[in-house]
Amino acid sequence: MAIFVNENTKVLVQGLTGGQGKYHGLRNRAYGTKVVAGVTPGKGGTDVEGIPVYNSVAEAVAATGANASFISVPPKAASAAILEAAAAGVGFVVCITEGIPAQDEARVFNQLQRDFPSTRLLGPNCPGIISPGRCNIGITAGEIALAPMAGKPAVGIVSRSGTLTYQALYELKQLGVGVTTCVGIGGDPVPGTNFVDCLSEFEKDPETKAIIMIGEIGGTGEEEAAEFIKAHVTKPMSAYIAGVTAPAGKKMGHAGAIVSGGKGTAQGKMDALATAGVKIGLNPTEAGALMAEIVKGL
């Protein structure tokens, strides 16, 4: 199995006629993802290499039965795009857009919780999600991911860091470890989907036998995950936390990676996860090697 998306997921791309939307939307389709529609206001009735384009998400859903959306639009349009997808009944929304103001993220998150509780948002500012061999929504290169193999245990990946999402996938592929689903939750201060959401789904998925988690400095997501792991996760885990040498109070890379008030440090997160029984790697390669050892013992 896989979490959130699989081979039956039907995807529409909001912003398919734009440069990035077209590039990644077509790459997703080439991977085997069912990309059934694009949405760009004013360009309904056209197509992008055979993918029909509609003026609104509601029209696209009615015509194609799309149940997931890939949002690739500029920051000023992203909040409205997310809410339009939710209002149209799309159950899973992936937004890769970077640079959305934190107050807009908070407003949209709370509006989704209040008005559209059946819609799950992944992102924003994330690489997306890939269930190797089944579905790829976002900007992850499918060739770096190894699909689950018959008779061998497969693992799940959840990561805040975009680049380290790719490295985790590739490290496991080199070690011959298949992946059920890899979820890049993004590093912004208000993520639509967090570590606990993903850990809960992986724990319930019978095909996922172990979990690797990639975190980074800033916020309290990893500490909250550690508490959840203690209480609810029975599957073995390894993890890596980026930012060990980051100076306190300095923003590192993006809005979510800031240490303030003595909280959110890499060491604090590593200690919390280790206390929860997670094996901690001191670099991404070591975290992958630890997972390979875990898999050998399953």
Same domain, yes or no: 76 and 167:
no
**Beta-bridge mates of residue 102:** none
Model pLDDT for residues 184-197, shown as the tens digit of each residue? 999 888 999 999 99
Residue 85 belongs to a domain with what CATH number? Answer: 3.40.50.720
Same domain, 100 and 242: no
Given a cut of 90, whether residue 221 has pLDDT beyond it is yes
pLDDT digits (tens, 9 = 90+) for 240-274: 999 887 776 665 555 455 555 556 788 999 999 99
Give yes or no: residues 117 and 165 share one domain: no
Alpha-carbon gap, residue 127 to 159, rounded angstroms: 10
Looking at residue 252, its pLDDT comes to 57
Report how far residue 135's alpha carbon sits from residue 5's, in angstroms, rounded to the nearest whole number.
7
- HSE on the CB side for 163, CA within 13 Å? 5
Tokens of 208: 């996922």
Residue that is written with structure tokens 């109070």 in the block: 249
Number of domains present in the structure of the chain = 2
> pTM score > 0.85 for this model?
yes
Residues 67 and 165 in one domain: no
In a domain, 263, yes or no: yes
SS3 210: strand
Residues annotated as catalytic (active site), given as ranges: 254
Q: Is the bond into 124 cis (omega within 30 degrees of 0)?
A: yes
Q: pLDDT > 70: what percent of the chain?
A: 95
Write the pLDDT tens digit of every residue in 64-121. Answer: 999 999 999 999 999 999 999 999 999 999 999 999 998 999 999 999 999 999 999 9
Answer yes or no: is 3 within a domain: no
Going by C-alpha positions, the residue among 129, 123, 132 that lies closest to residue 79 is: 123
Question: Does residue 67 sit in the same domain as residue 183?
Answer: no
Domain that holds residue 80: 10-122
The average pLDDT across 213-241 equals 95
Query: What's the pLDDT tens digit per position in 198-219?
Result: 999 999 999 999 999 999 988 8
Residues 65 and 191 occupy one common structural domain: no
Residue-level pLDDT at 77? 96
In this prediction, residue 1 carries a pLDDT of 84
Residues whose CB is less than 8 angstroms from the CB of residue 149 and which lie 6 or more positions away in sequence, other chains included? 178
Site of tokens 């080439």: 30
Residue 63 resides in a domain: yes
| % of the chain exceeding 90 in pLDDT | 88
pLDDT of residue 217: 87
Helices (H), the chain: 19-31, 57-64, 75-87, 102-115, 162-174, 195-204, 221-232, 266-275, 284-296
Q: Residue 140 half-sphere exposure, CB side, CA atoms within 13 Å?
A: 36
